[in-house]
Amino acid sequence: MTILANDGISQSGVKALEAAGFTVDLTQVAQEQLQDYINTNSITGLLVRSATTVRKALIDNVPGLKLIGRGGVGMDNIDVDYAKSKGIHVINTPAASSASVAELVFAHLYGCVRFLYDANRNMPLEGESNFKGLKKSYAKGIELRGKTLGIIGFGRIGQEVAKIAIGAGMQVVAADKFIDKATLSLDFMGGHNIAVDIATQPMEEVLKVADFISLHVPAQKNYVIDKAALQMMKKGAGIVNAARGGVVDESALVEALDNEHLAFAALDTFETEPSPHIKLLMHPKISLTPHIGAATLEAQDRIGVELATQIGALLK
């Protein structure tokens, strides 16, 4: 049986699949050619990340496909229920990339409170001619320690973010429609471990008290953070979206930054991805990354191995 990893897979995942007796095809097939390629090459399983979509039209026309795998958490690029109704297995790797996404959130947070995203834009341009001016501009940074981080969405990734926040000396408040309470296990050097219980609160309360907001919710029809929600946030707060594009009203976000209600935003995902609005890309108060939350070598290794394990259990 042949598995097409259309958006790539780690070498450890390839080895695990081959050890289980599968043939792995690493060809990157264009979306419009995918149907013919799957049928011509007798593809049994299709692995994707965020670049390839698997919609009803494709599912209806690849009768030999037995499995669709998403390397990562969100599956909004796959018609999951329809595929399952056709007898196709649909799998993902919800835990494999949690630590990587959480670390990116804090990369953005540390960078934003010390203006690193803007300093790295301006130092190459003005560092030689206006060093003292830039130093003065960036001399009003703040520390994360002692501040309150609000986490919207308290599943696996939200809880990993909370662990880092606690380790950094922050207060954590969280909101989740489906989780009332979570016990976090924090592991430290030398085998030390502590457990921390966090009870969730209504989102409105989290927005009001948090110095920073981090979003960890799935894609949905309506904005999670709309204009009204942004106005609930503390003046001078910051927001990070490393979840999904479309959960934040980006026009309202720009307005909140322009009128100085918010101090900064950090975006790893975008409403019009893969072509973010220029007003976001050029905004001086937005820290930007191109949807790389899960893009670490460690996470990709875990994703590959986890996919291989699930595929072996389902198809062998």
Could you tell me if 84 and 206 lie in one domain? no
Could you tell me if 64 and 174 lie in one domain? no
pLDDT for residue 121 = 95
Could you tell me if 144 and 170 lie in one domain? yes
- 49, 244, 283, 302: the catalytic one is 244
pLDDT for residue 50 = 83
pLDDT tens-digit map of 213-265: 999 999 889 999 999 999 999 999 999 999 999 999 999 999 999 999 999 99
pLDDT for residue 235 = 98
Contacts of 302 (CB under 8 A, 6+ apart): 93, 96, 97
Over range 1-18, report the average pLDDT.
95
Per-chain mean pLDDT for the chain? 96
Over range 20-43, report the average pLDDT.
97
Known active-site residue 291: yes
pLDDT for residue 316 = 81
Alpha helices (H) along the chain: 11-19, 34-40, 56-60, 80-85, 98-113, 116-126, 131-137, 156-167, 203-209, 227-232, 250-258, 278-281, 297-315
Is the preceding omega at residue 218 within 30 degrees of 0, hence cis?
no
Could you tell me if 187 and 158 lie in one domain? yes
pLDDT for residue 74 = 80
- 108, 291, 302, 306: the catalytic one is 291
Could you tell me if 151 and 283 lie in one domain? yes
Could you tell me if 129 and 223 lie in one domain? yes
Pairwise CA distance, residues 147 & 168, whole Å: 10
Could you tell me if 222 and 277 lie in one domain? yes
pLDDT for residue 41 = 97
Residue 159's pLDDT band, with cuts at 50, 70 and 90, is: very high
Could you tell me if 67 and 157 lie in one domain? no
We report the CATH number of the domain holding residue 84 as 3.40.50.720
Structural domain of residue 80, as residue ranges?
Answer: 2-94+297-315
Could you tell me if 120 and 55 lie in one domain? no
End-to-end Cα spacing for the chain: 10
237-257: burial string, b at 16+ Cβ within 10 Å, e else = bbbbbbbbbbbbbbebbbebb
Count how many domains the chain has. 2
Could you tell me if 150 and 8 lie in one domain? no
- 103, 255, 273, 277: the catalytic one is 273
Could you tell me if 118 and 267 lie in one domain? yes
pLDDT tens-digit map of 114-150: 999 999 999 999 999 999 999 999 999 999 999 999 9
What pTM value is reported for the model? 0.89
Known active-site residue 283: no
pLDDT for residue 76 = 87
Residue 94's pLDDT band, with cuts at 50, 70 and 90, is: confident
Could you tell me if 125 and 273 lie in one domain? yes
pLDDT for residue 25 = 97
